[in-house]
Chains A and B, each alone.
Chain A
Amino acid sequence: MTDPGQPIHDVSLLLSGANQHLACGADIDELLEQAADGYATQFTSHQRDCLYCQAALGEFARVWEPVRSLAAEQVAVPAALKSAVASQIRKLVADVWYTLQLNDGGAIRVAARVVARIAREAASGVAGVRVAFGRSTHSRMAGLVERATLRHRHPNAAVGVLGRTAVVDLAIAVQYGDQADAVARAVQQRAIAELRSRVGLQDVTVNVTVDDVIT
């Protein structure tokens, strides 16, 4: 218990383990919590008339000001973090599918994830599409993708690419009020056109799933 005759405390003494309450009976840890949470000047009815509490809250607020200031600082994320995460995940999913075009100069390969990205971007540009994702190969999907690639079509395929053929899955969320099937058809046509023109894929199947509506 603190000295009842000294409302302005030695804050170190106040914080020592021996003290749990002020002379007025207020709990020191609760006052410290109040100050640390930024409410040092929002007095309770007791605190409005208590010099002990007001002095302690004032001191605690000063002590915690640098902590609160630091907590409010923005922390910049390293630019390389996202690409490093993406790179590791690509290794994990064994995303090894490529388009392959052979010519006199050699071979040109385009990764399946690039095909998926192009399809996604194409879908994103269609009116009525709020969100679009193109699925790249996932390790557990590899078998399906392989079959899809060989048969050129598979209803559950992700992105299967081989040579100049591709099967792409697109998941989209559409704007509420738009006709979902019409938007999906437009997405399908645009993705196919983009993949033909930008990657040179001749046989492209694009499966579109409208799986959400956003208002």
Chain B
Amino acid sequence: MGSDADDDYLVRRAQEGYLDAYSDLVDRHGQLAYRVALRLLGNHQDAEDVAQEALVTAWQQLPGFRADSSFPTWLYQIVTRRALNRITRSRITQSMDLLGDVSDASAGPGQQTERNLTIDAVTDAVIALPPPQRVAIVLRHFEGLPLAEIADITGSTVPAVRSHLFRGRRTLSKTLVEWR
């Protein structure tokens, strides 16, 4: 139940203390939180921790949420900040594991190995980017967000986001060219 309700309705009910309404928001947007954390941090354990922290923080801060932006945009903000805090604290540089043990049953062993190598190469290249470029690349090219929303999420400006993207794309491309 609850799937008929839009985010605004669920947010209002959750602000009034209806935990089930927030639970529906977690059902709907928990994947967003985890996915972004995974792509920014590169390993499942950290991603799960950050997604969990972000979803609990969102609940705690919900009374102050004024719907100036959408709930997903607000959640992107929280997850991104949490992930950046963790990056700053731990300076994670290990190989990314974006998809974990996901395997494609239709692919043969050779194809699977090649696919895993490709995943590792891309993920290593993403995680090697400086944090501002990494955030811009993940939000733009993995989440498909428009520049204005990325600027909103990061508290930046569209020209600044565009600059991070230009630099990030060049760095990422150079790394991938060397890998090929």
Contact = CB atoms under 8 A, between A and B. Distances in A.
Interface of A: 11-12, 15-17, 29, 32-33, 36, 60, 63-64, 66-71, 73, 75-78, 80-82, 84-86, 88-90, 92-93, 95, 113, 116-117, 120-121, 124, 130-138, 140-141, 158, 171, 173, 212, 214
B58 to A, nearest CB: 9
Nearest to A121: B1
Given A15-B174, A131-B4, A85 B20 contact: no
A80 B45 CA distance: 12
24 contacts: A32-B173, A33-B169, A60-B173, A66-B121, A66-B176, A67-B141, A68-B141, A73-B98, A73-B102, A75-B31, A78-B44, A81-B34, A81-B51, A82-B30, A85-B26, A85-B55, A95-B19, A113-B19, A133-B2, A133-B13, A133-B18, A133-B20, A135-B16, A171-B18
Contacts of A140: 17
A52 B109 CA distance: 39
A90 B165 CA distance: 40
Given A67-B141, A70-B122, A85-B30, 11 more contacts: A63-B173, A69-B118, A70-B119, A70-B142, A78-B44, A81-B34, A85-B56, A133-B18, A133-B21, A136-B17, A212-B5
A62 to B, nearest CB: 8
Given A36-B169, A67-B141, A84 B9 contact: no
Interface residues of B, number: 52
A136 B19 contact: yes
B22 A89 contact: yes
A143 B142 CA distance: 46
A145 B67 CA distance: 28
Contacts of A136: 17-20
A173 B9 contact: yes
Interface of B: 1-2, 4-5, 9, 13, 16-23, 26-27, 30-31, 34-35, 38, 44, 48, 51-52, 55-56, 59-60, 98-100, 102, 118-119, 121-123, 141-142, 144, 165-166, 169-170, 172-174, 176-178, 180
B60 A92 contact: yes
Contacts of A76: 100, 102
Nearest to A11: B177
B30 A141 contact: no
Contact of B56 (A70, A75, A92, A134): A92
Contacts of B169: 29, 32-33, 36
A75 B4 contact: no
B18 A77 contact: no
A67 B172 contact: yes
A67 B122 contact: yes
B67 to A, nearest CB: 15
A33 B167 CA distance: 11
